[in-house]
Structure 1
Amino acid sequence: MIEIDGSAGEGGGQILRTSLALSMCTGQSFSLTKIRAGRAKPGLMRQHLTCVNAAKEVCGAEVSGAELSSQSLTFVPGQVRAGDYHFNVGTAGSCTLVLQTVWPALLMAHAPSRVKLGGGTHNPMAPPFHFLERSYAPLLKKLGANAELTLRRLGFYPAGGGEIEVTIWPAKDALQPFDLNDRGARVEGYAECFAPALPRSVARRELEQLGTALGWSGDQLREAPTRQHEGPGNALLATLVYDNLSEVFTEFGEKGVSSEKVARDLAHEVRAYQMSSAALGPNLADQWALPLALAVWMRQREASFTCAQLTDHAKTNFDVIERFLPVKFSTAPSEGGWSVITRPV
């Protein structure tokens, strides 16, 4: 039984999700205490509980402590089973985080799985759908793990109601680690504004301000189409496409925050990444660590990547991964950011 302190490091829900994912992948049980102890609302919130219940369903686990606000959890995994699954957060909580919890396990299964998820698709402090579709999933495909993602309906806080469908193909025998130290040549950059149920002037102002800040214009600035009954909500996205990867940066509008501030904040994120020569942005570096570590463990071959920033979130994730897998993350400053090497031990 692996014992994990949920208040260690960054102390957030990623500790729970990584533990669940790797418990299913490796068959190791874990006990997690002090879950989100330092947060304003400690313990399991609904989206975290949905992650636990989704993992339980995927592998037939024995679980104790799976209750709202619970600060301790014991998880004893069973055999991962491919299948058709439907997980609904029931609130505007992020369903993309639920997907990332079960995704690694389902790619280790012996048959394709189809997953339907409901909840928030574009949430602060969570990977938006378009980040997973354009940044995360293409790298997984290069790793040998293919998936097809479809956005059926946008979901924003506080209404939620978003819907995603995903098909995950088995990849256990296909995973091959690779180095990702150079983003490659710039192919294109473009911005989109999702603003369902809001005046069109909101999207126009955000895009115009962002275009001015980044020197983008014309077809680089796009008002994204929305579907009936989506929203209200507002997400401003910038997508940077390079030969070796794509990065997606997102800022969210909210009541009392001007369109100009949303655009300025996003421009700041984009410029910070562009000033670095590293391959991955701070969020993608965090997300990439787990699937890469799985491939390194299975093939017993090291792999490296560079990132513009090494966040506390990423460092905490590295620590949790090392508890479940016989791998070691080594980090060192490099030109334009950080170098991270993942080695089998």
Structure 2
Amino acid sequence: MSKSYPRISNIFLALPCIVLEAMGSPASIGPTNLANVVSIDGSVHEGGGQLLRVALVFSSILNKPVHINNIRLHRKSPGLQAEHIASVELARNMCKADVRHMVKDSRELFFAPRTNLTHDEYDADTKGHGSVTLLMQVGLPLAMFSSGITQFSLKGSTNTFNAPSLDFYTNAWDPLTFKFFGTNMEIRDIRRGFFPKGRGHVYLEVYPVQYLRPIDLTEFEEIVTTWGRAVCTPDIKIDTVDIMGDIVEEYLLTHHREAYEKIDILREQLRPYEAHGNGSAIYLFAETTSRAILSAGLTVQKYRGFNETAVQVAQEFSNLLKTKVCVDDYMQDQLIVLMALAKGKSRIKTGNITLHTKTAIHVAETMSRAKFNIVDNKDGTHIIECDGIGFENKLIDRPYV
């Protein structure tokens, strides 16, 4: 397909059901393997759902049982919530994992893969306003190392406040990982779901890889193009997206003329069958000659009007371009898993190291042999380096294109 662009409770060792039947693959978990269960404190660093998702990915791909405790310990609603359970269920279905404590509000989880990752058609639903893209953070890496082409039908919010938007994945993450790591997938936006109502629907088709190439993205070079999207649901006046687009252009004209001269902002009011909920959002993107793709964006929240939202996004976007980083805050932590699994040394230039990134690195180094190093530059930017483990997909005998 071408593109344009802490410790396990003794109860676990006593459970006879842990002694699982071998499924014809080295991934089956037997009594000996249980001595190698990886134990992770879920309250470290960011201490939220991201730690759970990253641990599920490494456990499923590397066939390593994991026990996580103190899950979301310091959150307003501690423990597993519906959107987290949906991610666990998705990973469980893909590797037929044995799972313990997968109930609402549980602060621990035991997850032990029983088979290699199997390609199939998978459905996952957050059953509320949980983010579709957080399901993607689990499903996509697993599908890359599965036995064939994998399809996903995912339901939940596509545009929310505390997770990357679907626009980030289609405009930035997908093309960047395709160019550098060699991933290959189709992301189809069937229906947008705006927080808090959710009910968005996304279809994905993911081709497996034999291995991931390392990424070297430390030079900003020159801006090639900038683009954006101001979007609203049918019950929001079209004037809203026009005003947000105008505000962004006026800000860039004053603060970053080069970006202004190359910007093309799509202003769109979705039709009733294209969206559910009541909301609006604006997203901006830039691509450089070094093939970096930078992004900034927000979904409008009730306490912050669309005018203020547009100004904030424009400011963040302009600052990204001025600092000449190659990876924005959202992209930063999303690349850690791929860098850890890649064959070779990866390097990316970014701004401040986020808590999400520190969390992902902690889990990656705990569950794999990957080693990370942070280089502090004098200008306040940072280089994240990783010696990847060179994981190879033994389930396919040819590249998928």
TM range (shorter): over 0.9
CA contact (8 A) 1:277 1:308 kept: no
Q: Give me the TM-score of the superposition, normalised by structure 1.
A: 0.94
In structure 2, give the amino acid aligned to 1:234: S
Aligned-residue offset at 1:123: 1.5
1:240 and 2:286 equivalent?
Answer: yes
Pairwise CA distance, 1:203: 1.4
Indicate whether 1:210 and 2:248 are aligned.
yes
User: Shift of the alpha carbon at 1:245?
Assistant: 2.5
- The equivalent of 1:81 in structure 2 is 118
8 Å Cα contact 2:123/2:153 also seen in 1: yes
1:193 corresponds to: 230
Alignment partner of 1:152 is 2:198:
no
CA RMSD of aligned residues (A): 1.6
Rounded to whole Å, the distance in 2 between the matches of 1:312 and 1:92 is 24
In structure 1, list runs of 5 or more residues that go unmatched.
Answer: none
Instruction: Write the distance in 1 (CA, Å) between the matches of 2:251 and 2:238.
Output: 20
Alignment partner, residue 16 of structure 1: 52
Q: C-alpha separation between the residues in 2 aligned to 1:217 and 1:251?
A: 22
Deviations 1:210-260, CA, capped at 9 Å, x for gaps: 211112489723212413142311111111122313222111212242222
Alignment match, 1:29: 65
Structure 1 Cα separation of the partners of residues 63 and 284 of structure 2:
39
1:50 pairs with 2:97: no
1:62 aligns to 2:62 (yes or no): no
Moved over 4 A (4+): none
Q: 1:224 and 2:268 equivalent?
A: yes
Identity level (%) = 24
TM-score, normalised to structure 2's length?
0.81
Tell me if structure 2 keeps the 8 A contact 1:238–1:270: yes
Change (3 A) 1:325 1:32: same
Q: Cα deviation per residue 1:67-109 (whole Å; 9 max; x = unaligned)?
A: 1111110000122110111111111110111111121111101
CA contact (8 A) 1:83 1:112 kept: yes
Moved more, 234-243 or 2-11: 234-243
CA contact (8 A) 2:229 2:283 kept: yes
1:312 aligns with 2:355: yes
Residues 86 and 184 of structure 1: CA distance in aligned 2, closer, same or farther (over 3 Å): farther
2:334 aligned residue (287, 293, 300): 287
Structure 2 unaligned residues grouped into runs of 5+: 1-36, 254-259, 390-401
Corresponding residue of 1:165: 203
Which residue does the alignment assign to 1:109?
146
For 2:314 and 2:331, the matched residues in 1 are separated by 18
SS at match of 1:154: strand
How many angstroms does 1:200 deviate by?
1.6
- Aligned counterpart, 2:169: 132
Q: Which residue of 2 aligns with 1:265?
A: 312
1:23 Cα offset (Å): 0.5
Question: 1: CA distance between counterparts of 2:162 and 2:126?
Answer: 16
Report whether the alignment pairs 1:274 with 2:321: yes
Which deviates further from its counterpart, 90-99 or 254-263?
Answer: 254-263
Tell me: CA distance 1:219–1:250, structure 2 relative to 1, closer, same or farther (3 Å).
closer
Q: For residue 187 of structure 1, report the CA deviation from its aligned partner.
A: 1.4
Whether contact under 8 Å (1:17, 1:51) holds in the other structure is: yes
2: CA distance, partners of 1:245 / 1:228 = 35
**Residues 310/116 of structure 1: CA separation in 2 closer, same or farther (3 Å cut):** same
* CA deviations over 1:34-57 (Å, ceiling 9, x no partner): 111111111111111100011111
Aligned partners of 1:213 and 1:82: how far apart in 2? Answer: 47
CA distance in 2, matches of 1:218, 1:179: 26
